[in-house]
């Protein structure tokens, strides 16, 4: 029986050779019999065009390769274009691979094995310069993966029922895009939120998958994340002018979650806290940026105000809330998990 897996690759890079490495890691996949890959590269108006990168390249096996070019829409828009291109095709599973990442040769094989008892899979990964074993950086994720492993259950892959991992997903976001494979037939209508262009669009997608699908998590490091053009990781420092946009998009993200009842009811306390924290962080970033003569992105501000106009009224109190709670934010703007008693009222 044939199993068709689509691989969606958004492409926006400035250096030669990055996409080739990603495609070579696809070529090296040790797939089970009957599995076939359809690779869709979406050139999102890349400074270094995908056509230059793909000149003379073809897969040696039965895998297919499609290239789509479009005006710049950001990673969420590019991934949605790839997903939309699958309409009418017999695709069983979808996987994602960012163009500067590479897969372990057993990544898809392990995913397909885990997906026999689930519909959403992700695995551990490393990211050079930032962390080695990602899951060990996430205390709630690691605790969830360490609990209740019976003799009948793999020590390497843990499966959770639909919704069981969602609270952890909200608090820590353990998947990274290139680690995800999911049942496309069951979730064919799900798309990335394009209003969260600088941060959070993938986080929402994983949360929504976890609510509706049994989730399998592989503790092995099957993916290595690279250092190509990455809006979040290259601008996450407070010293970057684009960090203002990141804080704004995170404020939009948690406002969206606050207004989405399906997500909000899974962890109302965390979402409410982070909504206030990131709104305050955005106001702080705007003020700090003004002093340093950083120009904010007016589109992010306009989007936040137009979608959530009460943000303006909340700004003074949320700025104070951020200042009081800034200790829970790390240097890379991630939120640490802290007891409720340690948070400002």
Residue 30 maps to which CATH number? 3.90.550.10
Q: Residue 333 in contact with residue 199, Cβ under 8 Å?
A: no
Kindly report the CA angle at 93 between 91 and 95, in degrees rounded to 5?
120
Same domain assignment for residues 268 and 205: no
Helix (H, G, I), strand (E, B) or coil at 159: strand
Q: Name the pLDDT band for 245 (thresholds 50, 70, 90).
A: confident
What's the domain range around 43?
Answer: 3-225
Percent of the chain with pLDDT over 90: 68
Is the model's pLDDT at 8 over the cut of 60?
A: yes
Query: pLDDT at position 230, please?
Result: 47
162: left (phi over 0), alpha (psi -120 to 50) or beta: beta
Q: Write out the two tokens for 311.
A: 């943000």
Same domain assignment for residues 293 and 144: no
Q: Taking the alpha carbons of 18, 20, 23, 24 in that order, is the dihedral positive or negative?
A: negative
Q: Residue 20 in contact with residue 53, Cβ under 8 Å?
A: yes
Q: Does residue 157 fall inside a structural domain?
A: yes
Same domain assignment for residues 23 and 145: yes
Q: Does residue 75 fall inside a structural domain?
A: yes
Q: Residues 164-190: pLDDT tens digits?
A: 999 999 999 999 999 999 999 999 999
Q: Which of 162, 197, 225 is the last residue of a domain?
A: 225
Q: Which of 225, 253, 274 is the last residue of a domain?
A: 225
Nearest to 232 by CA among 263, 187, 200: 200
Is the model's pLDDT at 152 over the cut of 50?
A: no
Same domain assignment for residues 123 and 182: yes
Kindly report the CA angle at 28 between 159 and 201, in degrees rounded to 5?
50
Rounded distance, CA 310 to CA 319, Å? 14
Same domain assignment for residues 96 and 169: yes
Q: What radius of gyration, in Å, describes the C-alpha atoms of the chain?
A: 20
Q: Does residue 200 fall inside a structural domain?
A: yes
The total number of structural domains that make up the chain:
2
Q: Does residue 156 fall inside a structural domain?
A: yes
Is the model's pLDDT at 147 over the cut of 90?
A: no
Same domain assignment for residues 147 and 88: yes
Distance of CA 10 to the CA centre of its chain: 13
Helix (H, G, I), strand (E, B) or coil at 69: strand
Query: pLDDT at position 151, please?
Result: 40
Q: Does residue 237 fall inside a structural domain?
A: no
Q: Which of 169, 192, 225 is the last residue of a domain?
A: 225
Query: pLDDT at position 228, please?
Result: 53
Query: pLDDT at position 237, please?
Result: 57
Beta strands 157-160; 215-225: pairing state: antiparallel
Average pLDDT over the chain, rounded to an integer: 88
First-to-final CA distance of the chain: 58
Same domain assignment for residues 51 and 102: yes
Same domain assignment for residues 250 and 178: no
**The model's pTM:** 0.89
Query: pLDDT at position 234, please?
Result: 45
Same domain assignment for residues 220 and 302: no
Q: Residue 133 in contact with residue 126, Cβ under 8 Å?
A: yes
Query: Per DSSP, what are the bridge partners of residue 9?
Result: 41
């Amino acid at each position: 029986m044939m199993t068709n897996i689509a691989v969606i690759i958004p492409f926006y890079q400035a250096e030669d050779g990055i996409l080739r490495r990603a495609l070579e890691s696809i070529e090296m996949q040790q797939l089970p019999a009957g599995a076939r890959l359809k690779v869709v590269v979406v050139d999102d108006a890349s400074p270094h065009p995908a056509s230059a990168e793909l000149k003379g390249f073809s897969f040696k096996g039965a895998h297919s390769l499609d290239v789509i070019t479009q005006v710049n829409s950001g990673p969420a828009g590019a991934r949605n274009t790839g997903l939309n291109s699958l309409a009418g095709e017999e695709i069983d599973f979808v996987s994602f691979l960012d163009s500067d990442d590479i897969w372990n040769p057993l990544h898809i094989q392990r995913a397909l094995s885990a997906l026999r008892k689930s519909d959403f899979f992700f695995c551990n990964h490393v990211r050079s310069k930032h962390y080695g074993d990602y899951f060990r950086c996430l205390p709630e994720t690691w605790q969830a993966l360490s609990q209740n492993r019976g003799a009948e259950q793999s020590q390497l892959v843990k499966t959770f029922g639909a919704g069981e991992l969602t609270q952890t997903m909200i608090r820590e976001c353990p998947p990274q895009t290139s680690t995800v494979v999911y049942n496309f037939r069951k979730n064919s209508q799900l798309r990335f939120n394009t209003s969260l262009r600088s941060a959070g669009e993938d986080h929402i997608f994983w949360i929504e998958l976890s609510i509706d699908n049994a989730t399998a998590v592989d503790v092995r490091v099957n993916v290595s994340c690279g250092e190509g053009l990455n809006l979040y990781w290259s601008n996450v420092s407070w010293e970057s002018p684009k960090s203002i946009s990141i804080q704004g998009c995170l404020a939009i993200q948690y406002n969206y979650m606050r207004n989405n009842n399906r997500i909000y009811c899974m962890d109302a306390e965390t979402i409410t806290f982070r909504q206030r924290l990131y709104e305050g962080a955005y106001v702080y970033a705007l003020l700090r940026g003004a002093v340093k003569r950083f120009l904010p992105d007016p589109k992010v501000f306009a989007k936040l105000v137009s979608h959530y106009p009460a943000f303006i009224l909340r700004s003074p109190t949320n700025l104070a809330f951020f200042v009081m709670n800034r200790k829970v934010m790390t240097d890379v703007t991630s939120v640490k998990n802290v007891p409720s008693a340690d948070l400002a009222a």
